[in-house]
């Protein structure tokens, strides 16, 4: 129809690309967003995740696609060669993929029926399988998780999983709570409950656990008064900092701030980035750290549908007007 502008979806990636983790068909770093290549149909992308040097996306049909570093088999493709475009990860006999989380050199996959599959390095037991297995390029079933899992998370070298069952251990930790989501930083853990409480444990070297102790061996509830008494609806973590969204839509950040990763300004309705930018992962065309949230110039006329980050690279699924150039 004349005058009508159709919308199309494009997956952009940028930043570190030494292993092809941007899925662009090459291994050169990119300081500005560029379109990912390969067999990926961007309009079908449902979620995305990044690890130390690899990336993963899940489609609407529950198919898992992977690319990037693969020296430990973290792509689950039955080999250990690097892959520079997104390739389907065959999971024979398993239902559709619900969630994927990428650690430094391993991946944790949650299927639609609550099963957990893992691949990559097991040097620290992060796969949850036999310690005799040092790594695996084949996705392995974590058989010790005999209850349906609802959420998974991968940290630097550890993994988390939550079930729908109520957790009840000691007054110093969980006390009759139902997990909604688990999240992992490099060396710390987070659990968001269905009631909007946040529990934290692990390393507190950079204040990310909001405690006077340098280490919390058991989960401790975050004081809601620090969030103006509000219930938390979502929580995310970087290596050493946290981001929480509350019921009113406020966003709180805390933890390490040496690269400006806490961002303490607001940019509504835009795709913005900030923090460490050595490999161009902030997408502004430079390699200089960004200390405050700034709009990414390439996305001036784009609408973000999904965003994701790895250790040194970034991803964004965007909606563009059909007459815009999405090939660059």
Domain extents in the chain: 8-320
Q: State the DSSP string of 256-317.
A: --TTSTT--S--TTS-EEEE--TTSTT-SSS-S-EEEEEE-GGGTT-EEEEEEE-SSEEEEE
Query: Comparing C-alpha atoms, which of 120, 155, 124 is closest to residue 135?
Result: 120
The tokens of 325 are what? 């150039």
Q: For 24-51, what is each residue's pLDDT tens digit?
A: 999 999 999 999 976 677 778 999 999 9
**Residue 174 CB contacts under 8 Å (≥ 6 apart), including other chains:** 167, 168, 191, 199, 219
CA dist., res. 247 & res. 245, Å (int):
7
CA dist., res. 45 & res. 38, Å (int):
13
CA dist., res. 221 & res. 238, Å (int):
19
Highest mean pLDDT among 206-215, 252-261, 295-304: 206-215
- The CATH code for residues 8-320 is 2.130.10.30
pLDDT higher than 80, residue 122: yes
pLDDT value of residue 320 = 81
pLDDT higher than 90, residue 86: yes
Given pLDDT bands bounded at 50, 70 and 90, which one contains residue 4?
A: very low
Write out the E strands in 64-155: 64-68, 83-88, 97-102, 106-111, 116-121, 135-141, 149-154
Given pLDDT bands bounded at 50, 70 and 90, which one contains residue 264?
A: low
pTM (2 d.p.): 0.88
CB 160 within 8 A of CB 182: yes
CA angle 17, 99, 95 (to 5 degrees): 120
Mean pLDDT of 101-127: 96
**Residue 85 CB contacts under 8 Å (≥ 6 apart), including other chains:** 20, 23, 24, 25, 36, 37, 38, 39, 40, 67
Given pLDDT bands bounded at 50, 70 and 90, which one contains residue 175?
A: low
CA dist., res. 1 & res. 122, Å (int):
56
CB 274 within 8 A of CB 282: yes
pLDDT higher than 70, residue 12: yes
Given pLDDT bands bounded at 50, 70 and 90, which one contains residue 293?
A: confident
Does residue 175 or residue 118 have the better pLDDT?
118
pLDDT value of residue 95 = 76
Element (DSSP H or E) covering residue 253: strand 251-255
């Amino acid at each position: 129809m004349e005058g009508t502008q159709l919308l199309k979806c494009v997956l952009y990636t940028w930043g570190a690309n030494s292993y092809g983790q941007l899925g662009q068909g090459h291994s050169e770093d990119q300081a500005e967003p560029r379109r990912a290549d390969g067999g990926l149909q961007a309009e079908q992308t449902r979620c995305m995740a990044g690890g130390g040097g690899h990336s993963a996306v899940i489609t609407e049909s529950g198919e898992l696609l992977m690319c990037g570093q693969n020296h430990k088999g973290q792509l689950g493709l039955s080999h250990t060669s690097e892959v520079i475009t997104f390739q389907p990860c065959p999971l024979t006999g398993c239902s559709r993929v619900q969630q994927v989380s990428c650690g430094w050199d391993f991946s944790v996959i949650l299927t639609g029926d609550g099963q957990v599959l893992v691949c990559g390095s097991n040097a620290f037991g992060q796969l949850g399988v036999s310690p005799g297995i040092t790594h695996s390029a084949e996705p392995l079933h974590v058989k010790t998780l005999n209850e349906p899992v609802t959420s998974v998370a991968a940290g630097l070298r550890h993994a988390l999983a939550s079930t729908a069952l109520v957790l009840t251990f000691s007054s110093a930790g969980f006390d009759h709570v139902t997990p909604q989501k688990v999240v992992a930083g490099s060396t710390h853990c987070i659990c968001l409950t269905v009631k909007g409480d946040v529990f934290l444990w692990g390393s507190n070297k950079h204040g990310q656990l909001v405690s006077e102790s340098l280490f919390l061996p058991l989960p401790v509830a975050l004081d809601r008064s620090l969030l103006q008494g509000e219930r938390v609806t979502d929580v995310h973590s970087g290596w050493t900092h946290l981001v929480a969204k509350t019921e009113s839509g406020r966003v709180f950040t805390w933890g390490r701030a040496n690269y400006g990763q806490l961002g303490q300004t607001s940019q509504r309705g835009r795709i913005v980035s900030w923090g460490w930018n050595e490999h161009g992962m902030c997408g502004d065309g430079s390699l200089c750290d960004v200390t405050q949230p700034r709009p990414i110039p390439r996305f001036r006329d784009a609408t973000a549908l999904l965003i994701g980050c790895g250790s040194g690279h970034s991803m964004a699924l965007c909606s563009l007007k059909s007459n815009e150039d999405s090939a660059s």
